[in-house]
Chain A
């Protein structure tokens, strides 16, 4: 990964964490200052979806051209994406506890996110249960496509069809709920970009470690 991309990510993150805590935000009942959690909680989910997208992209590439490198990338993207998802889940539960009244509120988007994470956890279980490398890569890639196809409706369609406490769902407006939506975007989108870049960086390190491991196994 290019060093300038890492620097961009770091500069953006420092900006996001300073402006996100200090800049003016809409004054809303119940939410109060926790509206700022939008800058830190939602980018985890956006990062997860983008990383899962990269994962399914490499899964399809593997199915078209079975190079083990594609499989390595696919599983690593899914791995880091899941880490982002777990962080999104935990931060969301903390936020929900103080604004919705309980950490697990049975909100359709919350349930959908939990199911999506379980679907991806099953991906790792499936991979772990197969000894043969080629079989593992191929079945993993096919399942990966299924998992991605299941995640999109769980996170983005079903919550919109029913009532959801999440903004932007079930008749709830998204950013438009806040008067200062334009100024919140100025922090939110850089946050998404920065965390996605950090995700790519972690993927890069993990892939390199994996390749080193494979090389050392071949040499010994």
Chain B
């Protein structure tokens, strides 16, 4: 009976300590640091790269048309 109580209290303590421990665990937190600015950087870069890729595709399409007309 004492053993069961011991086990239960250990589990309970572990549950309580869980959130505290989680903060010490090493995670990929770069994206969440400094007010999550890196998320914004990522979003801006995605938009930028996407638009430039679009320009490249437009360029290729025009080139195809030019080749066809020759």
Contacts and interface: CB of A to CB of B under 8 A. Distances in A.
Interface stretch (B6-14, B16-24, B39-47): B39-47
Interface residues of B, number: 17
14 contacts: A10-B52, A13-B52, A14-B45, A14-B48, A14-B49, A17-B48, A18-B45, A21-B40, A21-B41, A21-B44, A198-B55, A205-B59, A212-B62, A216-B69
Nearest to B41: A21
B44 to A, nearest CB: 5
A17 B41 CA distance: 7
B26 interface: no
Nearest to B68: A212
A212 B52 contact: no
Interface string B44-70: 110011001001101100100110010
Interface in A188-220: 198, 201-202, 205, 208-209, 212, 215-216
A212 B66 contact: yes
Interface in A1-36: 6, 10, 13-14, 17-18, 21-22
Interface of B: 37-38, 40-41, 44-45, 48-49, 52, 55-56, 58-59, 62, 65-66, 69
A202 B45 contact: no
B48 A202 contact: no
Interface of A: 6, 10, 13-14, 17-18, 21-22, 198, 201-202, 205, 208-209, 212, 215-216
B27 to A, nearest CB: 21
A209 B41 contact: no
A18 B42 CA distance: 9
B67 to A, nearest CB: 11
A6 B52 CA distance: 9
Given A22-B38, A205-B62, A212-B65, 9 more contacts: A10-B52, A13-B48, A14-B48, A14-B49, A21-B37, A21-B41, A22-B37, A212-B69, A215-B69
A51 to B, nearest CB: 16
A215 to B, nearest CB: 6
A140 B37 CA distance: 47
Contacts of A201: 55, 59
B62 A208 contact: yes
Contacts of A208: 62, 66
A6 B40 CA distance: 25
Given A212-B62, A215-B69, A22 B41 contact: yes
A208 B38 CA distance: 38
Nearest to A212: B65
A14 B41 CA distance: 10
